[in-house]
Amino acid sequence: MAAIDSILMEIEQEAKVTQRVFERIPGDKLAWKPHSKSLTLGQLAMHIAGGQGRLAEIVGKDTHEIGEIGYPQPGSQKEILEALSQSTAASLSALKKLNDSQLAAVWTLTKGGKVLLSVPRIGFIRSIIMNHFYHHRGQLSVYLRLLDVPVPSIYGPSADENPFA
């Protein structure tokens, strides 16, 4: 088994969880945000939905110069779900191409020529491509709670859903 196999499996499993969360997003609240410094509900969802695939594409190179990060505002819940599906497929496709030696090789992120991060590629995959989006999915579940939308089970029971009952 290649080192990437367990990551690919996790991405597939987590995409299903993320889809359940996205299915709860009220289409009429996409412009809502909990604070003036926060992203809108739609922007946060699109960041989660599309970001993993974009990042997986750049991890195949040895270095990446970061530009401005955009946060598009979706027009519908359907747009968010489609972005998740496309991003998941792109992420799996890009990561499947990496062998064990590439995963162990150092990957570098720069901005303006300055090194921001230089880590083994598998560390970048774990920290940024995966954990980063789990963090944002947690934020999204708080947005749902604040909007009084039932929060789905993510890793176990929520106050609204118990898959073990």
Residue type, 16: K
Q: What is the DSSP string of 4-60?
A: HHHHHHHHHHHHHHHHHHHTT--GGGTT--SSTTSPPHHHHHHHHHHHHHHHHHHTT
**The whole model's pTM is what?**
0.93
Higher pLDDT, 91 or 55: 91
Residue 89, domain member (yes or no): yes
What pLDDT score was predicted for residue 1?
Answer: 73
Number of structural domains found in the chain: 1
Domain that holds residue 96: 39-158
Check whether 41 has a pLDDT greater than 80: yes
Q: Provide Rg for the chain, Cα atoms.
A: 17
The pLDDT > 90 percentage for the chain reads 85
Is position 147 within any domain? Answer: yes
Question: By percentage, how much of the chain surpasses pLDDT 70?
Answer: 100
Q: What is the CATH number of the domain that holds 104?
A: 1.20.120.450
pLDDT of residue 70: 85
- C-alpha–C-alpha distance, residues 34 and 36, integer Å: 7
Q: Whole-angstrom Cα distance, residue 145 to residue 26?
A: 12
**Is residue 151 one of the residues assigned to a domain?**
yes
For the chain, helix, strand, coil in percent to 5 are 55, 10, 35
List all residues 6 or more positions away from 41 whose beta carbon is below 8 Å from its beta carbon.
25, 29, 30, 31, 32, 33, 140, 143, 147
Residue 163 resides in a domain? no
- Length of the chain, in residues: 165
Q: Which of 16-25, 30-39, 124-133, 143-152 has the lowest mean pLDDT?
A: 124-133
Residue 10, domain member (yes or no): no
User: Within 10 Å of residue 51's Cβ, how many Cβ atoms?
Assistant: 20
Question: Considering the domain boundaries, does residue 22 fall inside one?
Answer: no
Contact 52, 91 (CB under 8 A): yes
Arithmetic mean of pLDDT over the chain: 94
User: What pLDDT shows up at residue 89?
Assistant: 96
The reply to whether 67 falls in a domain is yes
pLDDT higher for 68 or 136?
136
For residues 47-58, give the mean pLDDT: 89
Average confidence (pLDDT) over 3-16: 94
Q: What per-residue confidence (pLDDT) applies to 128?
A: 87
Domain assignment present for 113: yes
